[in-house]
Amino acid sequence: MCGIFGVYNHKEAVELTKLGLYALQHRGQESVGIAFRNGGKISRSIKRGLVQDVLEDNQFKVQSSFCIGHTRYSTTGGSDIINAQPIVADTPYGQISIAHNGNLTNSLKLRGEYFDKKGYIAPVIFHSKSDTELILWIVASLRKENAFSALKSALKIIKGSFSLIIMTNEQLIALRDPNGFRPLCLGELDKSYALSSEPCALDVTGFKFVRDLEPGEMICIDKKGLSSLKYSKPKLSFCGFEYVYFARPDSHFNGITVNDVRKELGMELARESPVAADIVTSVPDSGNAAALGYSTEAGIPFEFCFIRNHYVGRTFIEPSSIKRELDIRIKLSPIKSVVKGKKIIVVDDSIVRGNTVKNRVNLLRESGAKEIHLRISCPPIKYPCVYGIDFPDPNELIANTKSLDEIAKYVCADSLRYLSLDGMKKVIKTKSCFACWDNKYPVIPEDEPAKFKF
């Protein structure tokens, strides 16, 4: 996952992009980068770390009316700074910079075959290990009349999930893959435009939300204004996990607010899996809305049992398991006076590896909880994601290796229930990708299984 943001034609484009990246911080915490037009050239600044730390660096104190930004969380290529984005390259069409959210499902195949056939030696021309650079090199190698035409041709070659913001010296180009796995939306402010992974970043920067880009749509913004091209027939498979966990609750996709979806998921969960208890609580922050929904539907009062330390990032997207473990411990503290002697329903949005939830249940036990009933507002995640969410190894997915009873025992819960797939589909009615739950992949990966660890 990553957050991407871009501004065209605003005198404070760099500052607005930085603000946009703040609002998209939850989508990636490994590195931050901006690319901006600097005289006749495109320059870039990249650094490892969180937006708030990185942007104090002098290299980010620049002025431009044209800027794109990226906050990164690696699914391909690792978290080295060499893989940070946006990437900038000299091409036959002049300089191009690209910011990518997604994951190509044929990048290894393309690296190995496409470039060998063309006579390139991949290790010589590739500077990073990310699939984003591959897109740039395909565009550069196609020898079309301009970057826009080359990009159009490249889109017939690359497969998988890609929401892209691309900057040339004259244009801002943005597009979504034909399945629309990852979000991307357009905002407007006077004669300026912004593009953002999520609408929440448009709100923060003062841009008015115009619309989601459609799957299979490419837009181009330049001096003449905005033009749109439907380069492929749309096959909507928007990522269901964006609604369940990843996106910010105040964002909306396909006209539906994430917070509302999460609340509905919690209500459906309460109808499917009721249990007698004194209070309902959430695992903050992503479990809050589902827990409120559960509490409303069940008629059991909601109480906060955890205080969250806001200076620790999201544990799920920390790249190493040791760091994840340590972060979980300092992230949440139980409120003992609320917990002691209570039968508690704990609503969480999902269980991926199981270590996070186990630690939270233990914290409640240590604080004197009488019973702990765990309710999860999505079905068991059993299959890897090949479209840009970091659960590529099925052996790491607890629901793939343990039964329901075994998981309940492992996480020390008195009972454990997940929302059913039908229940989730009742709430998320738009055509979506549910592959990590139902094993039905909208785009079959062409790369070697090793890349995705099937």
Beta-sheet strands, E only, within 28-86:
31-38, 41-48, 66-72
Phi, psi of 177 (to 5 degrees): -65, 165
Residues that bind ligand SF4 in the complex, under the rule CB under 6 A: 181, 239-241, 385, 387, 389, 433-436
**Measured between alpha carbons, how far is 104 from 332 in angstroms, rounded to an integer?**
35
Strand pairing category for 41-48 and 31-38:
antiparallel
Instruction: Find the shortest distance in angstroms from Cβ 69 to ligand SF4.
Output: 23
Cβ distance to ligand SF4 smaller for residue 226 or 421: 421
Instruction: Find the shortest distance in angstroms from Cβ 179 to ligand SF4.
Output: 9
What single DSSP character describes residue 213? P
Cβ distance to ligand SF4 smaller for residue 148 or 387: 387
Cβ distance to ligand SF4 smaller for residue 8 or 434: 434
Instruction: Find the shortest distance in angstroms from Cβ 442 to ligand SF4.
Output: 8
Instruction: Find the shortest distance in angstroms from Cβ 103 to ligand SF4.
Output: 9
Cβ distance to ligand SF4 smaller for residue 93 or 245: 245
Token output for 242: 């964006």
Burial of 91 (0-12, 13-18, 19+ CB in 10 A): middle
Cβ distance to ligand SF4 smaller for residue 203 or 446: 446
Crossing angle (nearest 10°) for helices 147-154 and 131-141: 120
Instruction: Find the shortest distance in angstroms from Cβ 288 to ligand SF4.
Output: 21
**DSSP H stretches of helix in 64-170:** 107-109, 115-117, 122-125, 131-141, 147-154
**Measured between alpha carbons, how far is 10 from 12 in angstroms, rounded to an integer?**
5
Token output for 61: 């104190």
Strand, coil or helix: 50: coil
> Is there a catalytic annotation at residue 378?
no
Burial of 450 (0-12, 13-18, 19+ CB in 10 A): exposed
Residues acting as catalytic residues: 2
